[in-house]
Structure 1
């Protein structure tokens, strides 16, 4: 009898999910795959769908009041932006791209910025601590991974000193990415006056609904004048490496100028979501006229609550807009159909398309999934290089000597649809040429792949790759 009741309940739940898929499903292939999973994998199929298959645009934990408050704040930001005129961007060939980002995020390209490229951990943390030491009003931090160690100890000592001088310090850490952060450390932060909140921490009532949706952003804001973003987390491995992968290589940005406000807005929205405090939304925003540089920057951010995928669409547009070349450095290139086809079309049409991927991976399953696309890429003429030294964690795209994207987003479904991410678009030849040369230097020390040789890889490797593709939405 109990089994009969359980079966009836299971069927009712399954049918409810089927109806939801039919009503809200966007991609037919994806909808069919979930229908098969629900009916062929008892219990596990439903749990997986609940964790990663639901349309977050329909099932958001944000209520209507939150949406209204955020939208009104973004409108106020737009009215106060010191932006580049559309004519200027037309002459540079970026009008469509900048309008796309503005449509998705509300942010226009801003001028008078100073952009500094920071390579690897030492340069990045030297610049970060220099900026933090100079803070006299506020320090905002948002990190996916915040690990205890020497860096964390230096930060807490600095925060203690700054809070005593009246500097406001706010921290957001991801509830999963920073799972190792101890209660003792968090309590110490609070005891010295730091405001700190986790993003979607483990809670029994919403564990399955939220575990797959993480805040992968890395942001620091100092006094509204200096900002940092990129791929580097708060972890000693960026200085010391680790026993398995060795040295971690990554790129970060220091920004000064009008673009700092855009990054600060992203932080303030996330702060509102974790704390419920929207006091920052009510502040008057004076126009930003101070000229600190001559670089044009536009911030693009996205998350699972966006109807369109802002970062996925931006990557797609960058690939399609490339006239001569597009060089991509990323450890997690697990493209969906659109990105896959756009890279193949670009290569087939004569664009110099090159991918620089870490030869070593922090996940075996991810490594198999990344490699599962190599054969198709190589056949289309995409050049692939494996970086052999340590772990290459950078997320960079450089194109045509005038366009750069650096940030937190990988080139995979998770970054496009499931994680909260942020990238900086830099429309500047000096920055592009610097990173182009860095890319060319790196591939000199990397392993080039050949289509014929790769195609003849062992059958067991192909099997592993095919298996890993199934789980790519989770990776």
Structure 2
């Protein structure tokens, strides 16, 4: 009797999931894979689908919160006409996806590697007078976390509000003891979608990968660096972590603050308002150079960051240089990169030779032969773990942020990038990229195709498993 009941329940659940996949499946290949898994792996296939396979774009947990904040004006004619109107489509695309227009008058500073980045961050935090907003995917205990704890305590004693969001899985190692200390000194702290059996269990695979700090609503930081001592001391087996961050002062900082406030409402149900700033709050000596914040997540209507990268690649005329540890692109980006290279654009990829996950490394390398054959140059950075997420093109436009070139960043994570229509920044990032290439190992197509069958087999395994990363 109980067996019949169990089978009946299983059939009902399986059929409802199959119907959901057919109605709402995002990609035919993934939909077919999940259908096969459900029929080939009784119970296990359903469990894996509920855990990893649901199409979150249906649920809109964050998207509808954007309307709680004022809508920014559309990019105006003067902004679109800059660079001879060349990036008008990219500006419009980013605006329609994230509702943030490009802004002028921003002061930008590139921060390379952990020590420089954190000293600059602490300097800004120490000068805070009103509030501090801090959000990280990975927040690990150690010297940096202890220093932040002491600074937070000092600022709260002087009337500064401190709010913190950490990802429930990325910061899984964060101890209850440390969290208790934060609460005791007055930090408002929330976990983003902690792992729970119940309401958020189905969201285990959807993480908040953003790294944001905003001080007093006008100084902000974003990029690839997390709060971890491995940026200062290195990591056994990988060595020193290398990464790129960005300091922004100006309207772009207020846009990053709105991204934080959107996430804050989701985790706390508390509505924050932007700090009113005077008309002359951002008097910086920068003209005709634009910055646009692009934020996306799995409940947006479209894969925001994938479309941004795709557009930047397609718009490249002379060169497109990409630094990223996890280049596991979908078919559209593969074709975009190959088409650019075959059309005469100088396409170069800078990838870490060492990586923090061996299976992910196989997946990344599984694309190398396709890229090399199309004329794309690939450089392996040998000195530690290169974790930067940078794209720069034609001495005119560049991107620094949190998004990798993989399905996880495009389909499953909440990410944020700063797009800079800024010639000086583009040239600085290009120079840094070329300097890193000089100390890296360039791959040769004729040599790479001679790699062993064992390596090719590992790459095939990594390629098949890549949708799960």
TM-score of the alignment, normalized to the shorter chain, above 0.5: yes
TM range (shorter): over 0.9
Distance in 2 between residues matched to 1:207 and 1:337, nearest whole Å:
31
Report what 2:13 is aligned to.
13
**Does the 8 A contact of 1:84 with 1:110 survive in 2?**
no
Distance in 2 between residues matched to 1:286 and 1:91, nearest whole Å:
32
Q: Does 1:235 align with 2:231?
A: no
| SS of equivalent to 2:195 | coil
1:188 pairs, out of 156, 166, 181, with: 181
Deviates more, 1:358-367 or 1:30-39: 30-39
**Does the 8 A contact of 1:213 with 1:419 survive in 2?**
yes
Report what 1:71 is aligned to.
67
2:397 pairs, out of 403, 409, 428, with: 403
Distance in 2 between residues matched to 1:327 and 1:377, nearest whole Å:
14
**Does the 8 A contact of 1:139 with 1:220 survive in 2?**
yes
**Does the 8 A contact of 1:348 with 1:380 survive in 2?**
yes
User: How many pairs align?
Assistant: 467
**Does the 8 A contact of 2:106 with 2:282 survive in 1?**
no
Report what 1:121 is aligned to.
114
Structure 2 alignment gaps of length 5 or more:
none
- The alpha carbon displacement at 1:84 in A equals 7.6
- The alpha carbon displacement at 1:471 in A equals 1.8
Report what 2:359 is aligned to.
365
**Does the 8 A contact of 1:404 with 1:426 survive in 2?**
yes
- The alpha carbon displacement at 1:29 in A equals 2.2
1:29-62 alpha-carbon deviations (Å, 9 max, x no partner): 22222211111122222122112221112234x3
Distance in 1 between residues matched to 2:359 and 2:173, nearest whole Å:
22
1:67-119 alpha-carbon deviations (Å, 9 max, x no partner): 5553141xx2415x997834433625110000000010100000000110000
- The alpha carbon displacement at 1:208 in A equals 3.7
Report what 2:32 is aligned to.
32
Q: Does 1:471 align with 2:465?
A: yes
Deviates more, 1:190-199 or 1:462-471: 462-471
Distance in 2 between residues matched to 1:221 and 1:336, nearest whole Å:
33
**Does the 8 A contact of 1:334 with 1:373 survive in 2?**
yes
Written as runs of structure 1 = structure 2, the 5 A alignment for 1:383-402 is 383-402=377-396
- Superposition RMSD on alpha carbons, in Å? 1.7
**Does the 8 A contact of 1:216 with 1:408 survive in 2?**
yes
| SS of equivalent to 2:55 | coil
Written as runs of structure 1 = structure 2, the 5 A alignment for 1:440-455 is 440-455=434-449
Segments of 4+ moved more than 4 angstroms: 66-69, 81-84, 283-289
Report what 1:277 is aligned to.
270
**Does the 8 A contact of 1:347 with 1:380 survive in 2?**
yes
Structure 1 alignment gaps of length 5 or more:
none
Distance in 2 between residues matched to 1:312 and 1:379, nearest whole Å:
23
1:267 pairs, out of 257, 260, 264, with: 260
- The alpha carbon displacement at 1:287 in A equals 5.5
| SS of equivalent to 1:331 | coil
Report what 2:53 is aligned to.
53
Distance in 1 between residues matched to 2:260 and 2:140, nearest whole Å:
20
| SS of equivalent to 1:115 | strand
- The alpha carbon displacement at 1:25 in A equals 2.0
Report what 2:82 is aligned to.
89
- The alpha carbon displacement at 1:456 in A equals 1.5
**Does the 8 A contact of 1:115 with 1:254 survive in 2?**
yes
- The alpha carbon displacement at 1:427 in A equals 0.8
**Does the 8 A contact of 1:257 with 1:293 survive in 2?**
no
- The alpha carbon displacement at 1:280 in A equals 2.1
1:184-236 alpha-carbon deviations (Å, 9 max, x no partner): 11111111111100000121104541110000000000011210000000100
Q: Does 1:313 align with 2:296?
A: no
- The alpha carbon displacement at 1:6 in A equals 2.5
Report what 2:418 is aligned to.
424
- The alpha carbon displacement at 1:8 in A equals 2.6
| SS of equivalent to 1:280 | coil
**Does the 8 A contact of 2:249 with 2:282 survive in 1?**
no
**Does the 8 A contact of 1:83 with 1:111 survive in 2?**
no
Report what 2:294 is aligned to.
300
